[in-house]
Structure 1
Amino acid sequence: MHDSVCGPVAAADFSADERAAVYKAIHTRRDVRDQFLPRPVDDDVLLRLLDAAHHAPSVGFMQPWNFILIRDAARKAEVHQAFTRANAEAKAMFTDERQALYASLKLEGIVKAPVNLCITCDRTRGGDVVLGRTHNRQMDVYSTVCAVQNLWLAARAEGIGVGWVSIYHDQDMRRILAIPDHVEIIAYLCIGYVDQLYDQPELQKRGWRERLPLDQLIYEDQWAEHAGISSDRPRPDRAAALPAIPSVSG
């Protein structure tokens, strides 16, 4: 696939509607757990999503990612079995009062989603010395996470749901997908169309945890004991600062 823009790109070439669309994708993105539809995802749509991921920023332009598409039912069943074993272990880690709520959450759509996708990071790509990674070896991993986010936002714009499965033993996933030792597993995603999304994150809606207030997470100039924008500065009005975000039915 080719870039749709050739030559230099203006720094401020987004219209108000285009800016609002970007923020809408960000604010209405959801982690989809099991509400996938049986409708298949066409290859041209998958390629658009993967192309969006491939256009993520990467340290030293090393582009360390690979994409393993999993559509075979038997392979997905193996992954689901690995998840089920690990999920039982995870449930036991929570306190008794949390275990019931945890058990009620449907934390994966491995079998139900028409497409599973494993995104990996090849830590040898680019050689031993990579521009920008000389003093922070994790930058290739961080770059691959940016690819995950690019794909997720593009999927939201396409009306496609994404769920991130993180409950599995690394060695199980390596065995099932034949992933070599020098390649790190970054994300295992379930991908498919959905007919609706929650109007807020499911874990927030189900009472697992609330979103933290932004102004309690902002420090100025250095780490501080108490978060918050300095009292001698005017606090921005978030509602006024961002474009209007249409609500999502849920």
Structure 2
Amino acid sequence: MLQRKTFDAGFRAELAQLLTWRRDVRLFRTDPLPAGTVERLVQAACLAPSVGLSQPWRFVLVDETSRRAALRRVFETCNAAALAGYSGDKAERYARLKLAGLDTAPSQFAVFCDRSVAQGHGLGRRTMPETLDYSVVLAIHTLWLAARAEGLGLGWLSILDPSEIVSALDTPDSWHFIGYFCLGYPAADDDTPALERAGWEQRCDPESVILRR
């Protein structure tokens, strides 16, 4: 019989530090990652919970220069459209934000949800099929924390047209695009979100997101 695992106060304090210092990184050093780093982080991601133990996450490692260039063009188009949607001070602030790490991050990958996955036999998703997508997001967050624990930064790039990403990466029709990510060593560490430092938005009070019944 396995002995129950317990985590002491010291571990919980370290975990709180990990959560505090996890950042959505946009500025990377160009240092290459050690061989096998991404594969090891994907292994950690596969420890995430998933509805019905379906494990619907699919990782596409983007190494080809031509594909990266295509994705860069998609971002530029979408970013210009997003900027046009703001005016005045917000437009000026948006223009100053660093919203991509595409030029310097040594590793880039896309994450998809395989909505046709047979694993799990449909358990738990008949009434809420979206839990497949949620499961993938949990895997991403697990990878995010594992990367930060190794001194790496992850950036989620969402200013993209999903249909263009699917076309550029030539993925199966049943795979639903969740996100595109840049991974590497951050140019600097910080315990405060970049958007907060830039004056774009502030973190909310945790009590404000609780509704008691």
Q: Same fold (TM over 0.5)?
A: yes
Distance 2:133 2:72 in 1: 25
Q: Secondary structure at the match of 2:101?
A: coil
Q: Percent identity?
A: 37
The one-letter amino acid of 1:171's match is S
Partner of 2:7: 14
Partner of 1:175: 167
Work out whether residues 160 and 194 of structure 1, in 8 Å CA contact, stay in contact via their aligned partners in 2.
yes
Work out whether residues 77 and 111 of structure 1, in 8 Å CA contact, stay in contact via their aligned partners in 2.
no
Work out whether residues 148 and 187 of structure 1, in 8 Å CA contact, stay in contact via their aligned partners in 2.
no
Q: Secondary structure at the match of 2:36?
A: helix
Using the TM superposition, give the Cα deviation of residue 216 of structure 1 relative to its aligned residue in structure 2, in angstroms: 1.6
Partner of 1:81: 73
Using the TM superposition, give the Cα deviation of residue 25 of structure 1 relative to its aligned residue in structure 2, in angstroms: 1.2
Q: Secondary structure at the match of 1:43?
A: coil
Q: Match for 1:194 among 186, 190, 211?
A: 186
Change (3 A) 1:169 1:195: closer
Work out whether residues 76 and 111 of structure 1, in 8 Å CA contact, stay in contact via their aligned partners in 2.
no
Using the TM superposition, give the Cα deviation of residue 9 of structure 1 relative to its aligned residue in structure 2, in angstroms: 5.7
Work out whether residues 109 and 180 of structure 2, in 8 Å CA contact, stay in contact via their aligned partners in 1.
yes
The one-letter amino acid of 1:21's match is E
The one-letter amino acid of 1:142's match is Y
Distance 1:124 1:43 in 2: 32
Q: Which moved more, 1:73-82 or 1:137-146?
A: 73-82
Q: Match for 1:130 among 110, 122, 129?
A: 122
- Does residue 111 (structure 1) correspond to residue 103 (structure 2)? The answer is yes
The one-letter amino acid of 2:209's match is L
Aligned positions of 1:21-40 closer than 5 A: 21-33=14-26, 35-40=27-32
The one-letter amino acid of 1:41's match is L
Distance 2:144 2:103 in 1: 19
TM-score by length of 1: 0.81
Distance 2:58 2:3 in 1: 28
Aligned positions of 1:140-179 closer than 5 A: 140-179=132-171
Distance 2:3 2:64 in 1: 41
Structure with greater contact order relative to length (CA < 8 Å, sep ≥ 6): 2
Structure 2: tracts of 5 or more residues without a match: none
Q: Secondary structure at the match of 2:156?
A: strand
Q: Which moved more, 1:122-131 or 1:14-23?
A: 122-131
